[in-house]
């Protein structure tokens, strides 16, 4: 049982012992001769005395859909996926990362892995229609996230978090999972959640302001969840669980060093050998040559704008225009000249946010 959500992992699916149902759809195909197959969240055909469903699925084959966890979110379009198709009975799949590549193994039988990359464009792609269309295309809608290069065998909390919860999830389940999140967020741990999840997309540590804002955002998200209509709650819960799940696994992956890091930023060394010498003094900050301005909406084809969080020198954050180089690197560009520039020329401050 997962200590965070109280759910039980039944191999291909997650089972909610309190509600007596699975929270994810049965990977098996729909069968007109099997009325229970039309109900996607039942455990053992609603008759646990006479039926067992030890693997959580009964399909002829299992297709596992694995995302990198960034899909479906605005601005994070890469959605790498692995479809794992196993022969009958080969229902136990193991995910392992090695050199940043995912390897999938079946406990028995054989399975084939199709690796690819899809492009999801914004939240709309997770609309009800597309979501369901995808569910029909795949034999399983279990989506298991992995952190590239970070973890081997996904912890349960992450799996739960990244399961795309169905829209018609019973309200009792939503409420109960939501209450658990509520408890977590009010147990003095949201700071750790935020820091851990923050570090998946950022380097270093968040500033105290970012931390405060991030925790407040988490709590706001939860308040919005409680006020949302049931249909929207399902999707929001998926995001909330995802956030928490990401944070938990990230916390494990980085050895739960978040607290130590806050109090002593340099104490969390991962060095394999003692430090030779302390970092040399920082050079003086030079006034950016470009005035504070929002990042450009139109950039030359292939170029990109990277926006960064606030720092001490850039209280509103900054952005960098980057040009792709033939060697695969990105060259910082001075937007005023559109030519390569030094750091004071290429780190462009963001203007204050309007109230």
Partner 1 sequence: MYGLPVGFDASVFVGRKLDQLSFSENTLHLIFDSEISITVLSSISFQKGGASAEQRFEVPIGSTDLMMLLGRVVQRASAERSGRLILEFDGAYALTFEDDSDAYESYHIQIGDKRTIV
Where along the sequence are the contacts to partner 1 (CB under 8 A)?
A: 78, 80, 99-100, 148-149, 199, 202-205, 253-255, 257-258, 261, 265-273, 275-276, 278-280, 282-286, 308, 311-313, 320, 325, 327-332, 340-344, 346-347
- When the beta carbons of 109 and 268 are compared against partner 1, the nearer one is 268
- When the beta carbons of 229 and 283 are compared against partner 1, the nearer one is 283
Q: Is the dihedral of CA 156, 158, 164, 167 positive or negative?
A: positive
- When the beta carbons of 119 and 270 are compared against partner 1, the nearer one is 270
- Report yes or no: 236 and 165 within 8 Å, Cβ to Cβ: no
Q: In what order do the strands lie in the sheet with 8-10?
A: 8-10, 13-16, 21-22
Q: Residue 342 CB, nearest distance to partner 1 (Å)?
A: 6
Q: Residue 120 CB, nearest distance to partner 1 (Å)?
A: 15
Closest CA to 95 of 110, 86, 108, 82: 82
For strands 143-145 and 63-67, give the pairing: parallel
- Report yes or no: 306 and 322 within 8 Å, Cβ to Cβ: yes
Q: Residue 283 CB, nearest distance to partner 1 (Å)?
A: 6
For strands 21-22 and 330-334, give the pairing: unpaired
Three-class secondary structure of residue 318 per DSSP:
strand
Three-class secondary structure of residue 302 per DSSP:
coil
Q: Residue 254 CB, nearest distance to partner 1 (Å)?
A: 3
- When the beta carbons of 229 and 274 are compared against partner 1, the nearer one is 274
For residue 133, give every residue at least 6 positions away whose Cβ sits within 8 Å of its Cβ, in sequence order, or none: none
- When the beta carbons of 301 and 326 are compared against partner 1, the nearer one is 326
Torsion of CA 16, 17, 18, 23, to 10 degrees: 10
- When the beta carbons of 37 and 80 are compared against partner 1, the nearer one is 80
Rounded Cα–Cα distance for residues 289 and 305 (Å): 17
- When the beta carbons of 68 and 235 are compared against partner 1, the nearer one is 68
Q: Residue 142 CB, nearest distance to partner 1 (Å)?
A: 23
Closest CA to 76 of 181, 200, 190: 200
As given in the structure block, the two tokens for residue 310 are 């606030």
Q: Residue 83 CB, nearest distance to partner 1 (Å)?
A: 19
């Amino acid at each position: 049982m997962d200590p965070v959500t109280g759910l039980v992992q039944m191999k291909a699916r997650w089972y909610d012992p309190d509600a007596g149902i699975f929270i994810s759809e049965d990977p098996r195909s729909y069968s007109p001769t099997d009325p229970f197959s039309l109900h996607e969240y039942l455990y053992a055909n609603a008759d646990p005395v006479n039926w067992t469903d030890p693997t959580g699925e009964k399909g002829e084959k299992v297709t596992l859909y694995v995302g990198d966890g960034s899909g479906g979110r605005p601005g994070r379009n890469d959605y790498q996926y692995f479809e794992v198709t196993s022969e009958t009975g080969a229902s136990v799949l193991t995910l392992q990362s090695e050199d940043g590549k995912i390897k999938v193994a079946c406990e028995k039988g054989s399975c084939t892995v199709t690796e690819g990359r899809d492009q999801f464009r914004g939240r709309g792609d997770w609309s009800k229609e597309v979501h369901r269309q995808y569910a029909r295309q795949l034999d399983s809608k279990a989506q298991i996230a992995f952190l590239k290069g970070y973890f081997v065998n996904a912890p349960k909390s992450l799996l739960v978090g990244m399961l795309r919860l169905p829209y018609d999830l019973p309200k009792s389940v939503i409420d109960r999972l939501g209450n658990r999140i509520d408890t977590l967020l009010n147990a003095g741990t949201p700071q750790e959640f935020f820091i851990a999840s923050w570090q998946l997309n950022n380097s270093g540590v968040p500033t105290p302001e970012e931390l405060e804002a991030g925790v407040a955002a988490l709590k706001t998200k939860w308040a919005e969840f409680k006020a949302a209509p049931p249909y929207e709650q399902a999707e929001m819960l998926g995001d909330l669980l995802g956030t928490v799940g990401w944070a938990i696994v990230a916390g494990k992956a980085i050895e739960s060093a978040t607290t130590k890091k806050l109090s002593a930023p340099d104490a969390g060394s991962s060095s394999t050998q003692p430090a030779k010498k302390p970092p040399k003094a920082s050079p003086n900050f030079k006034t950016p040559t470009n005035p504070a301005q929002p990042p450009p909406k139109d950039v030359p084809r292939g170029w990109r704008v990277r926006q960064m969080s606030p720092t001490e020198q850039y209280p509103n954050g900054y952005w960098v225009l980057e040009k792709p180089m033939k060697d695969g690197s990105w060259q910082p560009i001075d937007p005023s000249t559109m030519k390569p520039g030094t750091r004071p020329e290429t780190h462009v401050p963001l203007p204050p946010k309007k109230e």
